[in-house]
Amino acid sequence: MTARVRVKVQLEPNHMFRLPLTLAGLLVVSVSAGIGQQPTSGMPTTVIRANVHLVVLHATVTDDKGEVVSGLSEQAFRLLVDNQPHPISVFRGEDMPVAVGLVVDHSESMAPMWPNVVAAALGFLRVSNPDDQMFVVDFSNQIRLGLPSGKTFTNSASELQAALLRYPPGGSTALYDAIGVALAHVEKATITKQALLIITDGGDNSSRARLNHVLDWARKASVTLYCIGLYNGADSDRNPQVLKDLADATGGKALFPSTASDTSSVCVKLAKDIRSQYTLAFNGAQDGKYHPISLTVQDRGRGLTVRTRTGYQAGTP
């Protein structure tokens, strides 16, 4: 009788160590038949319980023209943790579903751009993975979930459109509070590849939360933030650096369309960016400290660059 060994991964509650179910399948080891094969019914199974502290990275590779590069192998990547080479434990290069929160500014100043914003959000949905889980956070000085009570996520265009239109624009801007609500809500997703798409036309002028707290949460969470800033020269509250900082801290991207009508093409670009990401994981520390990460890829004359988060906060034993 052929013995089989399965590794059951016991993950820490810290966000850094959540592992997508599709990745967890890679860690099922069969001695006789290779990785990922399920044991035959009736065959005895030896279960090894391992406390594997995996840090998950979602990485986007672009060339010198800013175009997304797909099809790279694991061998093309080089990972440094604490400035030291570190082995990659799990690698996936194909499109994976993602849980996405559409965090949309409903302040009074957004009213003239509202048709463009709704069209852009729906354009994002059309080119997203059909298995994505999405939700809407409508924010002004009030923070409200757009989907009906009891509906946590959806991939229905009509339901998302209704969620975006549920509350009319009005009031001031509590951006930091809205991001905090979205970060808490996305934790409920069954998909652990997670992102927020934030669309706003100004800086924060109403939040109780502070930027440093939101940035710290964003750095510690395995959530990528994509930000779209719709600014005009007369906007005294505009603060594009905040959106850049939020995106850079999480491996995302901040974009600033020149006109509201360009928002749709920007959203489509970001959706394709998400679908073209590489997913990597490595064994993390258990010392409670923050560890810087550097992920690079072999250039081969194409000017390739990698965008991912810049570090992780380790858990404790």
| Sequential pLDDT tens for the chain (317 residues) | 434 333 333 333 333 333 333 333 333 322 223 333 333 344 444 333 444 578 999 999 999 888 899 999 999 999 999 999 999 999 999 899 999 999 999 999 888 888 888 889 888 988 899 899 999 999 999 999 999 999 999 989 899 999 999 999 999 999 999 999 999 999 999 988 999 999 998 788 889 999 889 888 888 878 999 999 987 666 666 678 899 999 998 999 999 998 888 999 999 999 989 999 999 999 999 999 999 999 999 876 778 999 999 899 888 87
Q: Supply the DSSP string of 198-230, one letter for each residue.
A: EEESS--SS-SS-HHHHHHHHHHSSEEEEEEE-
Burial of 14 (0-12, 13-18, 19+ CB in 10 A): buried
- 3-state SS assignment for residue 316: coil
**Spatial distance between the Cα atoms of 313 and 290, rounded to a whole number of angstroms:** 4
Return the C-alpha torsion angle 183, 185, 191, 194, nearest 10. Answer: -20
Give me the residues paired with residue 224 across strands: 195
pTM: 0.79
Strand order, beta sheet including 54-62? 90-92, 278-283, 54-62, 305-307
**Spatial distance between the Cα atoms of 121 and 263, rounded to a whole number of angstroms:** 9
Domain boundaries, the chain: 1-52, 99-275
The residue with tokens 């930000």 is: 227
SS3 content of the chain, % helix, strand, coil (to 5): 30, 30, 45
CATH of 99-275, one of 3.40.50.410, 3.40.50.360, 3.20.20.140, 1.10.10.10: 3.40.50.410
Q: Which two tokens stand for residue 125?
A: 């949905």
Q: Is 195 within 8 Å of 252 (Cβ atoms)?
A: yes
Q: Is 70 within 8 Å of 276 (Cβ atoms)?
A: yes
Question: Residue 215: which of 174, 238, 246, 247 has the closest Cα?
Answer: 246
**Spatial distance between the Cα atoms of 294 and 94, rounded to a whole number of angstroms:** 22
Ramachandran area for residue 251 (φ above 0: left; ψ -120 to 50: alpha; else beta): left
Backbone angles phi, psi at 213, to 5 degrees: -70, -40
Residues 150-157: contacts with CB under 8 Å, at least 24 apart: 152/185, 152/188, 152/189, 153/99, 153/188, 153/189, 155/125, 155/128, 155/130, 155/131, 157/122, 157/125, 157/126
CA distances from 284 to 81, 105, 216, 290, 315 (A): 9, 36, 19, 11, 9
How many beta carbons lie within 10 A of that of residue 131, not counting itself? 11
